[in-house]
Amino acid sequence: MKVRLTTSFAIIIFLCTCKEDETERPTNAEKYLNSLLDIMQEKSVNRYKIDWPDFRAKVLATVPGAQSIPETYPAIKEALIMLGDNHSFFIKPDGNVIVSGTLSYDAQTISSPTLPDNVGYVRIGQFSGSIPSAAATSFARDIQDQISLQDNDNLLGWIVDLRSNLGGNMWPMLAGIGPILGEGIAGYFIDAYGNELPWSYLNGSAMLGGNSIFSLENSYESIVPSPKAAVLLDNGVASSGEVIAISFIGRDNTKSFGIPTCGASTSNQSFNLSDNSVLFLTSSYLADREKNIFGIPVTPDLVSGNDMIVQDALVWIQN
């Protein structure tokens, strides 16, 4: 009997110990959330501006006792807001998106204006497709077709209309507008560590560093190198649209008109997570060719209302 009691007691102690270990073990939801926070801490453009122990504690406190990944979504929303970059977002496996919801924009329908024959007009809208793809090639080709069909020896300059370009994929935009923008470095990505990576246009190719990211065969060359360009901006210009706006800053024979852009002038990096969701994390700032850092709205050279913006640009080109 004594042996049995001792053995039984030992078994009870073992089982209780196992149960206590199990309660201390993090749930799959906690592991998932912590892995997401690890990425943010390592790659966020604001990593040096954040008190990470406090950040992590506040995020985890948002969903105490979460057992499943969907139960972590309110915490992910809170983390995106607390990052303070106004651009990061999270795509769930079903395609629904969680955003910080701190930026606002006013996109509008843009109509082609009536202009004199000696002023060209090119419209660059948003593009959300992947590269390489037929859609990306068609998008970039359409921009260059707008240029080639109007270009002539008597042209005084171009109106480059970026209004309500909400962004997407910058590379077909950059390749398309290249003949007017001109070759060479047009801007930089600068991350939290101070690493700099230039974007540029060269002979039909949108370049990142020394690598071609997207290329358009048989690209057009402007009759006049570095022609005069009036760039139109509004609050609906965001993200990759702001890349193109920044690309014209510091360029010769250039002036921008309108109102400040949305302010999502940063770059996102994508991270695939274990449940097939994707975190798009803001990991670098956009900077112009002089390495002036943005992350804020791009302010035009001349503030101009929508009723006068084209006329103001036209007067500048003709004078």
pLDDT in tens, 237-267: 999 999 999 999 999 999 999 999 999 999 9
Q: Hey, is 246 helix, strand or coil? A: helix
Q: How much is the average pLDDT of 121-146?
A: 97
Residue 202: CB atoms within 10 Å = 16
Between 232 and 111, where is the model more confident? 232
Percentage of the chain beyond pLDDT 90 is: 85
CA distances from 69 to 38, 57, 58, 61, 64 (A): 16, 18, 18, 15, 13
Percentage of the chain beyond pLDDT 70 is: 92
Cβ–Cβ under 8 Å, residues 245 and 261: yes
pLDDT in tens, 71-115: 999 999 999 999 999 999 999 999 999 998 767 777 788 888 999
CA distances from 152 to 6, 10, 149, 202, 260 (A): 100, 94, 9, 22, 32
- Name residue 102's beta-bridge partners: none
Q: Is the domain 119-266+283-318 a CATH 1.10.10.60 member?
A: no
Length reported for the chain: 319
Strand order across the 302-303 sheet: 119-123, 157-161, 229-233, 254-258, 302-303
Q: What sign does the CA torsion over 234, 238, 242, 244 have?
A: negative
Rounded to the nearest 10 degrees, the angle between the axes of helix 170-181 and helix 240-247 is: 20
User: And the tokens for 132?
Assistant: 């390489």
Indicate the domain borders of the chain: 2-84, 119-266+283-318
Instruction: Please give the biggest Cα pair distance in the chain.
Output: 110
Q: How much is the average pLDDT of 202-220?
A: 96
Instruction: Report pTM.
Output: 0.86
